[in-house]
Chains A and B, each alone.
Chain A
Amino acid sequence: MLLALAPAARAATQHLQVFVTAPYLEMHTGPGRGYPVFHVVGRDGSVRVLKRYTDWFKVRAERGIEGWVPARDLELTVLADGSRFSYDTGDRNGFTEHRFEAGVFFYGDYGGASTISAYAAAFATRHLSGELAVGQFLGSAANGTTVDLGLAHVFYPEGRFSPFVTLGTGLVHIEPKVTLVQPANGTEQTAYVGGGVRFYLTRRFFVRGEFREHEIFTHRNVNEQVDEWKLGFAFFF
């Protein structure tokens, strides 16, 4: 008998139990605002939190009934010790101060070539971060890939609209399409300076736009400058 009960007890303890303090808690059939409510848990009733999908939590009520509850409703419940249930889905405070962020740039122009790129950053303070960006540019004159490693300083992280400056070094691999006037494929070292803005959207998401001026240290007598514009979507965690 005890052996039979043991797995059930263990399964029960793995999931957080929360108690309803609002007049009722509505359970939806799916994780979305349009899915109908099919079950209601009354005040002082309890549910177990099974998992999360975006802003929705799957919960199990008594008698094993399972459904989805939005985070804003679940935040009205309390734990067994009386403290309020909370889950960090990201807010402006998180935008001001976080450890990591990452993003993709859907629009990019690298010296006239279209570019696709992504970046990741780790913050040492709320103002200063180390960043790694990789990109591929595809143009009529040349294709290539870039890798940049640098520092970024955010001036006003408290604001919804926060500008930043960035500085770093990197590599560019160029595959020219017109071989008569350009050397064959080659990898060159680069340095860049730039700036941009971050605009907080919601939860843990923000838009990032930036400009970088790359100095390419070529093997020839003159260096080359390439301007890069990027606009993308990023999130912090």
Chain B
Amino acid sequence: METRLRILFLTSALALSGCSTLHGLRHRTDAPADSAPAAADTPSTADAAAGEDAPPRVVEPDVERRKVVVPHIRSQDIELGGYVGTLNIEDFGAHPVYGVQAGYHLTEDFFLQAEAGLSRAGRSSFETLSNISLLTSAERRYRYYDLSLGYNFLPGEVFLGSGRAMTTSFYLLAGVGSTDFGGDSKFTGNFGAGFKVLPLDWLAVHVAVEDRVFNSDLLGTNKLNSNLEAHLGLTVFF
């Protein structure tokens, strides 16, 4: 009796487990149809198969990549400033000159520079001796501008004591421009050299000597005028 009961119990248990397996199988056959849209999102069936082969992940990584917002890196290629100095106007004496300058540094070696200056001529020896004025007051105004290419010829450093170093540069300049003097504008060539010291990264002190040459027939004969200028300047880098 006990054996029969045991057989009956085992048979019913087997039947129940069989039904549940069949039920599961049916659900499994239904599953692809139900999850078809979802399957489209998965990369490929091959990947899915590989995923099944792969060992299960124990810990899902919860690490987000740092997003770096790249800030604007300030550039200091542009140099603006002014200068004061002495300009020797040929035949008309040496006089104060005031000017502004702008530079654009192309490489560590080369830069473009624009300068514009203003001065006022005095009386020539001839005018003083003969007491005749060759030029009107307005014509004695001496104005110029030029565009030059500069070359940092000898970059270096100077030292203040043992704790402070400042970068320096000896540079060469050559360019073309215009000089407005004596009631006429003249095509002018300029060349010169300068020395600059940078007490701070953005501040430069210049000492420069430039010659500006142009053809002039102001005093009767056409000749090459040479106008030497020495100036002290201060510029700021932007």
Contact = CB atoms under 8 A, between A and B. Distances in A.
A104 to B, nearest CB: 5
B108 A51 contact: no
B75 interface: yes
A51 B75 contact: yes
Interface in A1-42: 13-16, 29-35
A129 interface: no
Contacts of A34: 155-156
Contacts, number: 98
Given A51-B74, A51-B76, A205-B106, A116 B178 contact: yes
Contacts of A235: 106
A62 interface: no
7 contacts: A16-B70, A30-B157, A52-B73, A80-B68, A81-B68, A138-B178, A177-B184
Contacts of A80: 66, 68
Given A29-B165, A30-B155, A114-B187, A79 B108 contact: no
Nearest to A103: B112
B71 interface: yes
B71 A87 contact: no
B65 interface: yes
Contact of A55 (B76, B108, B165, B167): B108
Contacts of A58: 201
B147 interface: yes
Closest 8 pairs between A and B when the two form their complex, measured CB to CB = A138-B187, A114-B187, A30-B167, A51-B74, A32-B155, A79-B68, A52-B75, A81-B68
B17 interface: no
A113 B75 CA distance: 39
A72 B165 CA distance: 25
Given A80-B66, A177-B184, A54 B77 contact: yes
B105 A54 contact: yes
A50 to B, nearest CB: 8
A217 interface: no
Contacts of B162: none
B73 A51 contact: yes
Looking at A33, A53, A57, A139, the one whose CB has the most chain B CB atoms below 10 A away is A53
Chain B residues touching A, majority SS: strand
Interface residues of B, number: 34
Given A32-B155, A81-B68, A116-B147, A203 B185 contact: no
Given A53-B237, A55-B107, A79-B70, A106 B75 contact: no
Contacts of B105: 53-54
A96 B228 CA distance: 43
B235 to A, nearest CB: 13
Contacts of A107: 176
A25 B113 CA distance: 33
A136 B68 CA distance: 49
B57 interface: no
B67 interface: yes
Contact of B185 (A33, A138, A233): A138
Interface in B96-122: 105-108, 112
B165 to A, nearest CB: 6
B147 A143 contact: no
A20 B178 CA distance: 51
B176 A116 contact: yes
Contacts of B175: 106
Nearest to B146: A116
B194 interface: no
B93 to A, nearest CB: 25
A58 B155 CA distance: 17
A83 interface: yes
A49 B165 CA distance: 21
A106 B148 CA distance: 8
B77 A136 contact: no
B178 A35 contact: no
Contacts of B67: 81
B106 A14 contact: no
Contact of A104 (B107, B108, B112, B185): B112
A118 interface: yes
